[in-house]
Structure 1
Amino acid sequence: MERRTLGSVGEVSVLTLGGGGLGQVWGPTTRQEAVATVREAVDAGIDLIDVAPGYGDGEAERVVGEAFAGKLPAGVRVSTKCGLGNPDPFDVPAFLEKSLDDSLTRMRISFADVFLLHNHVTAEAEPGAPWATPVSLFVEAVRPALEDLVRRGRIGSWGITAVADTAAVTEVLGAAPTPAAAQCVANLLDSAGELAPAQSDTRPAETLAAARRHGVGVMGIRAVQAGALTYGIDRELPPEHPIMADFHRAEPFRALAREFGESAASLAHRYALSMPEVDTVVLGVKDRAELRECVAAAAAGRLRPDEMATIRAAVGSGG
């Protein structure tokens, strides 16, 4: 499998196995199937596994623990996350470390290669919004605590979720010490869907460009925009949901995929893999069939610039 350099993390496979599918965020699966998917991903050459406590209330991390019984195969690395919110600055170090400890316990390992803030970084505090961490708190307490975890050998490096509030995220991406990696929306719709809070200033393409400009490794997420860039949503969503709006917008893309002679999901993954800013694409697969489709998409190689332009034109996207 092709490998690319993920910032200071170093070389990784161009595909990363994400934990959302393993934790049944993207539709139902079984523990047995999830474990088999993890093992097959590693056999296929995927050497980075990205999980989080929030994926199935720790289920994705438990799947990793069961898959390898506490001993990761040679060369395989893991990243996990912490949903912090906006606590008192004094409490941040202990909060982060407890989250890390709990994640490592579920995975049956003692070290995380990458530890990411699983919150939106925002310009200002958002009252009653546990998904938001203001830049001021990040600078004062979060970044120093993450750096301390690196110094003490608890983690190899740290990163951020770089989705909402492009201006705030760009500020963090450009200030030293910079994140080793950022999880950025990377899809042909240039859409974060429901990940972007209402009225937030979210510009995925600009965030990708900022990460590249500052030498931050990019873990591309939402390649199929939570199912909007596939042939059908695999879970119940209300008609007014942002993903459903993206699904309808993507209808011309599905027709184009048929002309290309491949599935919509495959073509969407190839598009994300062909974006010059993206170092590795985080997969949301929940079973081996979905995994195999993505591995085949990676093996098919990058799309040509003219193909990229044709695909963008189909959905009216500049992303």
Structure 2
Amino acid sequence: MRTTKLGGLGDVSRLSLGGGIGQIWGETPREEALATLHAAVDAGITLIDCAPMYNNAEKFIGAAFEGRPPPGVKFTTKHQLGSPVPGTAAAALEASVDASLAAMRLGRIDLFFLHSNLHRDGFAYAFGDSAKAQFSTALSIYVEEVVPAMEALKAKGKIGHWGVTGIGVPDAVLDALDHPVRPSVVQVIANLMDSPGALKRYAEPARPRQIARAAKAAGLGVMGIRAAQAGALTAKVDRELSPNNPDRRDYERAAPFRALCARWGVDPAYATHRYALSLPDFDVVVLGVKNRSELSLCLKAEADGPYSDAEMAEIDALGLRPAGANGSPV
């Protein structure tokens, strides 16, 4: 397993095991989830990416390692703060950390993410704006409450580093990266469609590659998420989705990619993870796998190394990335 430096965390594996083992993407028996955790670590994965909203993932980590994780393995978790009553963000973040520490049976979280969307004050979302207090954090709250709270959690020794999930409104995410007190790591969409799928609530184009470039330019670590775009870039979506679901629409739009994979003789899940691992500016790719079979495909993608420039160009030539404001892929 290749390694990389991820912000202040130092050396970690290029692959991170994500929350799929928490029984959120299709059915996974508990025993298989635990076996997948152990298989990932045995294969050299040293970063486990978790969150309370990933159903049983934190509990399974606690059960798998019983409070004694292998040396060198690091753990992340997250909190979707939203926009709480003024003056309450610090308590909410600390309570979330405490609950995650208890569930995972750990003494410290290596990396703690603000998992809310970020938006500039006064911004109105195109979709679900009435609920934005639940899923999105205004920049004023981020600057005045979140940043100091994260630094306080570091000072208390409850977390080693903190980060943000960069799936919010692009300008707001870029503003956060430009703040004098920066996160150590940013999670950014990393797939061949540049698609956040059902996570996208704003109308403008997503700009994940611009966000990744800005993060690297600021000296931050970048974790790529949604490499398989919630199953849209696999051979078959593993759960029921309505025809209007953005992930279902992405799956249908990705038919040319599956046809290309058939010509190449590879599984789409393998190809999309190898593509994500080939992108510049991304240090780590988070896996949404739920079992050892899916894990093995991703391990092979990492072991086979980056795609060539010609192979990347052939995938990009499918035209699956959205056009930016200048008419070219973002």
Q: Same fold (TM over 0.5)?
A: yes
The aligned counterpart of 1:278 is: 282
Q: Specify the code of the residue in structure 1 equivalent to 2:11.
A: E
The aligned counterpart of 1:73 is: 70
Q: Shift in Å at residue 263 of structure 1?
A: 0.7
The aligned counterpart of 1:144 is: 148
Deviations 1:162-217 (A, max 9, x none): 01200000010121211111110010001111111142553222222221221211
Q: Shift in Å at residue 251 of structure 1?
A: 0.8
Q: Does 1:119 align with 2:136?
A: no
Q: Specify the code of the residue in structure 1 equivalent to 2:215.
A: A
Q: Does 1:46 align with 2:49?
A: no
SS at match of 1:211: helix
- Higher mean C-alpha displacement, 108-117 vs 190-199: 190-199
- Structure 2 distance, partners of 1:64, 1:315, is 39
Q: Specify the code of the residue in structure 2 equivalent to 1:3.
A: T
Q: Does 1:128 align with 2:125?
A: no
Q: Does 1:240 align with 2:244?
A: yes
Q: Shift in Å at residue 36 of structure 1?
A: 0.6
1:42-191 to structure 2, matched below 5 A, reads 42-56=41-55, 59-124=56-121, 127-129=130-132, 130-191=134-195
Q: Does 1:212 align with 2:220?
A: no
- Structure 2 distance, partners of 1:187, 1:128, is 27
Q: Shift in Å at residue 266 of structure 1?
A: 0.3
SS at match of 1:89: coil
- Higher mean C-alpha displacement, 254-263 vs 105-114: 254-263
Contact kept? 2:254, 2:320, Cα under 8 Å:
no
Q: Specify the code of the residue in structure 1 equivalent to 2:113.
A: L
SS at match of 2:300: helix
Relative to structure 1, the CA distance from residue 60 to residue 316 in structure 2 (aligned partners, 3 Å threshold; closer, same or farther) is closer
The aligned counterpart of 1:15 is: 15
- Higher mean C-alpha displacement, 239-248 vs 253-262: 253-262
Deviations 1:146-169 (A, max 9, x none): 011111211110000101200000
SS at match of 1:145: helix
- Higher mean C-alpha displacement, 232-241 vs 208-217: 208-217
Q: Specify the code of the residue in structure 2 equivalent to 1:32.
A: E
- Structure 1 distance, partners of 2:164, 2:298, is 25
Q: Specify the code of the residue in structure 2 equivalent to 1:13.
A: S
- Structure 2 distance, partners of 1:124, 1:249, is 34
Relative to structure 1, the CA distance from residue 216 to residue 245 in structure 2 (aligned partners, 3 Å threshold; closer, same or farther) is same
The alignment's C-alpha RMSD in Å is 1.3
Contact kept? 1:217, 1:279, Cα under 8 Å:
yes
Q: Specify the code of the residue in structure 1 equivalent to 2:186.
A: A
Equivalent of 2:318, from 292, 296, 314? 314
- Structure 1 distance, partners of 2:264, 2:319, is 15
Contact kept? 2:111, 2:163, Cα under 8 Å:
yes
Deviations 1:222-245 (A, max 9, x none): 101111111110000001111111
- Structure 2 distance, partners of 1:27, 1:128, is 26
- Higher mean C-alpha displacement, 4-13 vs 179-188: 4-13
SS at match of 1:22: helix
Contact kept? 2:116, 2:168, Cα under 8 Å:
no
- Structure 2 distance, partners of 1:96, 1:186, is 27
Deviations 1:229-271 (A, max 9, x none): 1111000000111111111111111111122221100000000
Q: Does 1:300 align with 2:297?
A: no
Matched length: 316
- Percent of aligned pairs with the same amino acid: 47
Contact kept? 1:89, 1:140, Cα under 8 Å:
no
The aligned counterpart of 2:326 is: none
- Structure 2 distance, partners of 1:51, 1:149, is 18
- Structure 1 distance, partners of 2:115, 2:103, is 18
Unaligned residue ranges in structure 1 (runs of 5+): none
The aligned counterpart of 2:199 is: 195
- Structure 2 distance, partners of 1:200, 1:141, is 27
Q: Shift in Å at residue 92 of structure 1?
A: 1.2
Unaligned residue ranges in structure 2 (runs of 5+): 123-128, 322-328
- Structure 1 distance, partners of 2:190, 2:41, is 23
1:215-234 to structure 2, matched below 5 A, reads 215-234=219-238
- Structure 1 distance, partners of 2:280, 2:206, is 20
